[in-house]
Amino acid sequence: MKEFEIVIPVKAVNYDELDETDRTLVDSARQATERSYAPYSNFCVGAAILLSNGEIVTGANQENVAYPSGTCAERTACYYAHATYPDAKFKTIAIAARDTSGNEIVNPVAPCGACRQALLEYETLAGENVKVILVGSKEIFILPSVAATLPLAFTDFD
- Per DSSP, helices labelled H in 10-157 are 20-32, 73-84, 113-126
Q: Active site residue: 17, 55, 74, 128, which one?
A: 74
CB 110 within 8 A of CB 121: no
- Per DSSP, helices labelled H in 33-158 are 73-84, 113-126
CB 47 within 8 A of CB 95: yes
Report the chain's terminal Cα–Cα distance, integer Å.
Answer: 22
Q: Which of these, 69, 17, 11, lies nearest to 40 by C-alpha position?
A: 69
Task: Decide if 74 is catalytic.
Answer: yes
Q: Which of these, 56, 63, 127, 123, lies nearest to 94 by C-alpha position?
A: 56
Would you please indicate which residues are annotated as catalytic (active-site) residues? 74
